[in-house]
Structure 1
Amino acid sequence: MRRVLPPLDSLWTFHMVAQLGSLTAAAAALGVTQPAVSKRLKDLEGRLACALVQRGVNAISLTPLGRRYAGELRAIFAQLEEATRNLGGEAAPLRIRAYTTWALRWLIPRLPRFRASHPDIDVEVTTSTATVDLAREGVDAAIRTAPAARRPAPGARPLQPVMVAPFAAPSSLPSGAARRATDDPLLGSKVRSGDWRLWQDHHGLPAVSPLLFESTTLAIQAAMEALGTVICSPAFVRDEVRAGRLISLGEAPLPTGDRYWLILPRGRVRPALQIFANWLMEEAAAEEETSIDPVRGKNPCQG
């Protein structure tokens, strides 16, 4: 039977061009020259007898056939990468991608419990706010926020709801003063830049723009240095509140309408990842049932 499969390097080159949208970027990722990428594309189009890309003066775009072919190749290469990872054995560390603050203040403090129960499973945590492609980036699972009513990916599992409330350093408030969220400069993060506006709208407060830091972790630190009032999840500052480094401004946490989601790969999930996913779901559920707001004695996941 006559083979119709083009050379693998040509297929991978087209896949990278489709993913990155640029001959230059694809050449850099592949470690070859741009003319080499262009030649592989032309050879592939010649073998397939169809145009996959449209070439402009300073840019390229995929043809309709190219978009369809790129989508099919993306799924095929994802399956190949998953099969290759599975050959690495179950002893390979789990690679989890998450937001910096969630990883630092929620996940990592709980990992000792996971290690105690599953000492044979190692977990590596990396952080990013960018959209993640599990197969292309070699990540086993990711944590992302999205509206509670809309899954960010097929098969995504819901974790805890995103709740927010204001917190400030005791030293930033005059002795005996009423504790209000609007007394100091407002602090937030670029990742969740709209949380203060949600709070203001909910409480009928005038719109005041916050100072936005690169991450919620930085905004929390700024609040502890008495630079203002931070809005964040009560779970992120529970230890600081108990230690008296931050105080809650007496307001019940506000549901934002978002939720943290656990994104898993499509298809077969290796046993170690399934164990971790189940544990993560249990930890999130336990927090939702037992977390207590330090001021009002309320469950912050219930508002």
Structure 2
Amino acid sequence: MRRLLPPLNPLRTFEALARLGSIGAAAHELSVTHGAVSHQVRTLEESLGTHLFHRDKRSLRLTQAGQLYSQNVRQALNLIAESTLKLSIPSGEGRLYVTCPPTLATCWLAKELRDFRRQFPDIRLNIKPQNLDHQNISGASYDVAIIYGNGDWGDRSVRRLTAIEMYPVCNPRFFSDGESPRQVSDFRGEWLLHEDDGGNWKRWLASVGVRVEGFADGTYLWGAHLAIEAAASGLGIAVGDDIVCANYFQQGRLVRLFDTSVPAPGAYYTVCEANRVDEPMIALFINWLEGRMHDAWLR
């Protein structure tokens, strides 16, 4: 039976655009022009006979069909890439040193590693929770670093994993019957759990045009993983996102409050030395991580 395969170059372009969310980012990753990305995606849509994106002047969003298709295409391309890379590892084994922000390591990555070990049983991971930035990245020892920030880390190889949208989360039993706020203006300052100096809450509240009385009365925990865990335990309301809260949502320990979200000031990136990005173990881990995080974002 003849295989009904779409054109493969447009398929690869579509996957990059669906994952990165912008034509500019996809063009940069693929080393092509913005026009080439648009042309390749339209070629794929014509081949499939369906629209994969909603387009307007300010945004580009996957259609429902495009969202499902992007997930399947990503899995297929990752399988091809991983199978190819495995051929490049002579012994099929080794140790990989990875640094990761404590929040991401605790709330998300630790629960995903079983899948990595199942797929790559001979690669031994050494995960170190650590926040890297411009001041300490040069002195850190790692094969791959996962960093939250703006993506500007000199001459290193940098790949964005996902953008982050933030919104309020709390334990489903935090509010007793009839007490749950119907609007943000009902929030009380003592409910707020701050992972920082209050900046994330200020950013979200500004997006909905609300000032909370007693804002400074909230609890300051100085760490997103502490704030998220405290919210899951019923202490108050934290600012969360689809990645670090994914497992809490599945376990029923957190729920989202209100539909409004606001972009985080940074994103998650993988970083490694530019001359090592094609090493099999590094490429396998980055591809796996990219796929798992994208899947969590789609859930």
TM range (shorter): 0.5 to 0.7
The 5-angstrom pairing of residues 234-253 of structure 1 reads 234-253=242-261
Matching residue within 150, 165, 168 for 2:167: 165
Matching residue within 269, 272, 290 for 1:281: 290
Determine if the alignment matches structure 1 residue 189 to structure 2 residue 195: yes
Change (3 A) 1:157 1:145: same
Determine if the alignment matches structure 1 residue 203 to structure 2 residue 208: yes
Q: How far off its partner does 1:110 sit? A: 1.6
> AA paired with 1:196?
W
The 5-angstrom pairing of residues 26-41 of structure 1 reads none
Tell me if the contact between 1:140 and 1:273 (Cα under 8 Å) persists in the aligned partners.
yes
CA distance in 2, matches of 1:193, 1:139: 31
Determine if the alignment matches structure 1 residue 146 to structure 2 residue 155: no
CA distance in 2, matches of 1:128, 1:202: 30
CA distance in 2, matches of 1:115, 1:126: 17
Structure 2 unaligned residues grouped into runs of 5+: 1-90
Q: How far off its partner does 1:152 sit? A: 3.4
Structure 1 unaligned residues grouped into runs of 5+: 1-88, 292-303
Matched position secondary structure for 1:267:
helix
Q: How far off its partner does 1:124 sit? A: 1.2
Structure 2 partner of 1:297: none
Could you tell which deviates more after superposition, 127-136 or 104-113?
127-136
Matched position secondary structure for 2:270:
strand
Deviation readout 1:86-145 (Å, 9 max, x if unpaired):
xxx984411111111101222222211111111111111111224375664321111112
How many residues align? The count is 199
CA distance in 1, matches of 2:163, 2:139: 28
Tell me if the contact between 1:165 and 1:234 (Cα under 8 Å) persists in the aligned partners.
no
CA distance in 1, matches of 2:153, 2:220: 25
Tell me if the contact between 1:152 and 1:261 (Cα under 8 Å) persists in the aligned partners.
no
Matching residue within 97, 104, 112 for 1:110: 112
Determine if the alignment matches structure 1 residue 263 to structure 2 residue 263: no
Matched position secondary structure for 1:276:
helix
Tell me if the contact between 1:90 and 1:271 (Cα under 8 Å) persists in the aligned partners.
no
CA distance in 2, matches of 1:272, 1:171: 43
Could you tell which deviates more after superposition, 231-240 or 105-114?
231-240
CA distance in 1, matches of 2:272, 2:172: 41
Q: How far off its partner does 1:236 sit? A: 2.1
Q: How far off its partner does 1:257 sit? A: 4.0
CA distance in 2, matches of 1:92, 1:138: 17
CA distance in 1, matches of 2:286, 2:210: 40
Q: Report % sequence identity.
A: 23
CA distance in 2, matches of 1:234, 1:112: 20
Structure 1 partner of 2:13: none
TM-score by length of 2: 0.59
Change (3 A) 1:285 1:130: closer
> AA paired with 2:102?
T
Q: How far off its partner does 1:246 sit? A: 2.5
CA distance in 2, matches of 1:95, 1:186: 36
CA distance in 2, matches of 1:113, 1:275: 13
CA distance in 2, matches of 1:232, 1:113: 24
Tell me if the contact between 2:165 and 2:242 (Cα under 8 Å) persists in the aligned partners.
yes
Q: How far off its partner does 1:272 sit? A: 0.9
CA distance in 2, matches of 1:153, 1:278: 22
> AA paired with 2:242?
P
Query: For the pair shown, which has the larger CA radius of gyration, 1 or 2?
Result: 1
Could you tell which deviates more after superposition, 123-132 or 113-122?
123-132
